[in-house]
Chain A
Amino acid sequence: MKLQQSRENEILEIAEDVANEDSLSGRVCSTRVCKKKGVKLVHDSYGDKKFDGMLVYRSGVWMILCNTDNGNFPDSSRERFTISHELGHYHIPEHRRLLLAGRKPHGSQAGAFDEEGRPEELEADIFAANFLMPPVRFILKLTALKQKPLEGILALRKEFDTSLESTAIQGLRHDPRVVVIAKWNDNLLGWHRISDKFFRKTGYRQFLLKNREQLPDECATLAALSDNDGSFDSPVRNSVATTAFCFGHVAAGGTRDILLKEQAVRNGRFGVLAVYSVLNDPIISNGQGMPSRRF
């Protein structure tokens, strides 16, 4: 599922406003926002994989329940994202209105927006990412870093205290060099996202790499998959790929077949994150990041 650009922009604007209400620079503090808005926070163990967080409205009181069994411990990155996601439901007018109107989950669903095909959960995720990493602050830091895409994502993750995956998605939105990011769960591709710019303008639409067997020897992703999954400070692996190899409907040697920098890092037991970007390095200054080489 994907949101319309106009809707995504609306949510982004709300998220940035709420973040700026909290602070105008540095990290946004989701628990401080809860306190300011009178939203109570409860941490408890609700069972493994039952839910991460839950926004509840009862008797005129808003509260967020955080499930510690899913790793949502106070002050953890996961808890920060979970609270921010729930703050998205709280601040996005349409979500709030539905909850105030007493919209209840159906049957066995955990939440009011869990029916298949409903966009609210994605909207709350987009809110959370842009609340924790407000675009203006994110772009400023990204520009100042002047690092390769994956190294930049790792540094920004520390800067904003966010998860690797959500930081990578924000990096994909704002770093014009990034073409596609892919999350690998051991031997299989978990999910991937192609940059809007490259999807629309250059037409890289079908990501072909789906399982480990398709990966060439000595590529960065394969090397990262072989790294120890008990460690969270694995090295960044680097290699080069071509768009014809990674994407469908791109003719080898054609004008759209360009060299890509492939970078990958193991994120402990959560798998591997791979970032494919164009080779021309100094970025952002020209705001383009379009392919400069072809062969």
Chain B
Amino acid sequence: MTKKYPHEDTDELPPALRKALIECGAVIPTTPKEVLLAERQQKTKASPDQVEAAFQKLELALDDPTDDLSFAKINDALLTMQNEDLAMAARNGMELDEETRAKIEESVQRALRKPPPDSEL
């Protein structure tokens, strides 16, 4: 709690919890010691320029509340998939010839035309 506003709620966290949250990247480090702690957990090796560019992008996004902050890549992914791309994972897959690929395409088209099964999602 601050002295100026004694009844103000603060986001002060127990030190151990704050340390853990910084380590897993859930809280932005605010002191040099915390920055060092966060950097130790950093697995990606981004250059200072890359970090700077990403930070600027984040600042711009924070300034503009209408901007969509896609922290998870899932939004980007869905956009990528809007162009009728086909993603597939095969069990015991071998080399696929043109004929098989055509057959797969035919099945996919047929399945897309069929009404969806009763789904809970």
Contacts and interface: CB of A to CB of B under 8 A. Distances in A.
Given A63-B108, A100-B74, A101-B77, A85 B114 contact: no
Contacts of B89: 54-55, 86, 89, 95, 99, 111-113, 120, 124
Interface in B71-121: 73-74, 76-78, 80-81, 84-96, 99-100, 103-104, 107-108, 110-112, 114, 116-121
Contact of A53 (B81, B90, B121): B90
Given A42-B110, A102-B81, A54 B90 contact: yes
Given A34-B117, A44-B107, A65-B107, A57 B87 contact: yes
Interface residues of B, number: 36
A12 B121 CA distance: 23
Nearest to A37: B121
B81 A85 contact: no
A42 B93 contact: no
B100 A102 contact: no
Nearest to B76: A101
A47 B95 CA distance: 11
A40 B87 contact: no
A54 B111 contact: no
A54 B94 contact: no
Nearest to A108: B95
Nearest to B107: A42
A112 B90 CA distance: 7
Contacts of A102: 77, 80-81, 85, 87
Contact of B87 (A100, A110, A114, A120): A100
A254 interface: no
A294 interface: no
Contacts of A82: 91
A40 B81 contact: no
A4 interface: no
A51 B91 contact: yes
A258 B77 CA distance: 55
A56 interface: yes
Contacts of A114: 90, 93
B119 A35 contact: yes
A111 B96 CA distance: 10
A82 to B, nearest CB: 6
25 contacts: A36-B119, A38-B119, A39-B117, A49-B94, A50-B100, A52-B92, A56-B87, A56-B108, A58-B112, A63-B107, A65-B104, A99-B87, A99-B89, A100-B77, A101-B76, A102-B81, A102-B85, A104-B86, A104-B88, A110-B93, A111-B88, A111-B91, A112-B88, A112-B89, A114-B90
Given A109-B95, A111-B93, 13 more contacts: A35-B117, A38-B120, A42-B111, A51-B91, A57-B81, A59-B81, A100-B78, A102-B80, A102-B85, A104-B88, A109-B93, A110-B90, A114-B90
